[in-house]
Structure 1
């Protein structure tokens, strides 16, 4: 189990230990069911709040989460604040909402739980049930990013402990949100690097080939120029995480047509795909780098006629894809180095693209979905990947 996963499990265990007694003793009592039913209710409420918090601490996420958090604690009112303002309030006694920013600022400044009660919490409104509150800072990676403030008729030691543990759990969700954001930024950076990698290896040779045909076969040059524009329009359009297999195969087809114009009869290729999987969502630009690697090693590297085959099969809940060439192949340890992104294994020869696709697949689908490379010297190379038909979102 990862460190973050273990920390979250510990937070849940502690959270249940504090919240269950609180919910049994508070005004919102359980219906008298067995303890496991109360545990289920607590976990269910926490699960309802978690998706909003995983979006980070924003006005929208706070508004969606605050009601569930107040239900979890069973207090009269609850507020969520960031470093600048109160983002959301839920519960009765709106007269105290204007006091919440000052309470939050105290907790943010001291980075410690803050209790307001007695003379520090005056109220002259008839019938107001709130007589105090507990304000606990929310932290992400050691930084105070906000505060959770719970208000009720009595501020007991049990309430302080309970709100502190709920704040710890909220902080763990916000840390996971930060990790999600960092992962998205890393994937966007990898996408930009992948696009930059594609152009230097390909654009010069494609344009040189087209230029050589302008006088001898202008119609063919025009067709190839349209293919080149189509391919680059696809590769350079506004970034998206996913496309369909049909669009990705269309990109591969345009790439192979341009390479066929360059290599002539030295390059043969086939692209076969089961119709049932053409609409399956796949990571953007996940196949073209594999095909580019196959062309370089299967044709350019061998210096003789070679064949590249792209096959997409329907495999029940998954689509199975293979990119094969009959070129020189390589020792298995070199293939492992390419997947690991080892610069000593020759990123300029296509290894960068293989490592990039492998990392992206594992990040999106899990460690079981990386590339599988089958190769040996003089035996060609086959790169296999699997993608679930169901989208990962």
Structure 2
């Protein structure tokens, strides 16, 4: 076969492939067009898409969130010429227009905030194609106006008035969710502070007493315990980050147990079983140490002869499963139910605290599982997803 024939065949084959690809692309486009549905369905999709994008920008609040990007989507949603978001201090975002609308927007927003109702104004700004009208709707949260939305248009239609009012109500709902998120974050921080406060008076005094007892009898041991105490307190009282890794948490647990064993000696035996593949899994800060402390204080400390604590961190498919088990005195099931339900109790604060934070972060299905009874020891299990949400996995671990 000659080279000319081969080239002709190659060109013909390539052309055929291109034609086939174009045909397949055309079929896909036609099928995609049909899948878009009716005009009404496309309009519904576009509205939901714009609302979803704006919601993501508003969840940090009007000031801390990305109000400028939210304003861009909301202006498209309302189909107005200029859109302005105003809070108690003034205009936060102006979309679709220049700074010359600022004074008019802030004045109209102030009227809407004071009245608590939608306000209209005619010919408030000289636009490129004549006078521009405006409608302002207050953003009301629990009966208090926190801002207003102002839409400018060459003609204020009744539909635009209603839509601006509805969007203002929707923005208020997003801001309330932002406040709820902030409250949850503050609660989580308060719970961590409570754990630190629990550590401070009880453990620190006992640890220092144990270290002091070795200063004259075993100086090298005292020196080692001082270093362990420094590592434990540095980790426990760090300020940055709400999350850590299993490896770092277990490192702190190791320091804690060395200090406790300095007090109790052979009365406390420890078994540690850890799968290396789960060490990098992100978990809430101070979520394992309180479980171990609970096992020591409430399980073994009052048991004659002491006992054993077994800590495991295992790979369980999509989860890392951590267990803390002791063969101590156990917990009365009724008392345990009261603790986990949040009823006042001076004991087992750590259990309740960790259970609450796990549920806040991962959902109610990820709370602690506790198996116990009087004189039957206690087994506490927590399951944490190995694949973390971006907002958790991106946190800097402690150093």
Q: CA deviation at 1:38?
A: 1.5
Counterpart of 2:369 in structure 1 is 372
Q: CA deviation at 1:94?
A: 5.0
Given candidates 93, 99, 110, the residue that maps to 2:104 is 99
Counterpart of 2:180 in structure 1 is 179
Distance 1:59 1:341, change over 3 A: closer
Q: CA deviation at 1:358?
A: 0.9
Contact 2:86 2:147 in 1 (8 A): yes
Query: Is structure 2 residue 41 aligned with structure 1 residue 36?
Result: yes
What's the C-alpha RMSD, in Å, of the aligned pairs? 1.7
Tell me the secondary structure at the aligned position of residue 343 of structure 1.
coil
Matches of residues 1-393 of structure 1 in structure 2 within 5 Å? Answer: 33-58=38-63, 61-92=66-97, 94-118=99-123, 121=124, 123=126, 127-128=128-129, 131-344=132-345, 347=346, 349=347, 351-392=348-389, 393=391
Q: CA deviation at 1:254?
A: 0.5
Distance 1:385 1:32 in 2: 46
Structure 1 length as normaliser, TM-score? 0.87
Distance 1:60 1:194 in 2: 31
Tell me the secondary structure at the aligned position of residue 323 of structure 1.
strand
Tell me the secondary structure at the aligned position of residue 252 of structure 1.
helix
Counterpart of 2:17 in structure 1 is none
Cα deviation digits, residues 254-274 of structure 1 (max 9, x gap): 101111111111100012211
Aligned length: 355
Distance 1:173 1:243, change over 3 A: same
Distance 1:212 1:146, change over 3 A: same
Distance 1:93 1:210, change over 3 A: closer
Q: CA deviation at 1:377?
A: 1.6
Distance 2:239 2:277 in 1: 27
Structure 2 length as normaliser, TM-score? 0.86
Q: CA deviation at 1:60?
A: 5.3
Distance 2:62 2:262 in 1: 54
Q: CA deviation at 1:92?
A: 3.5
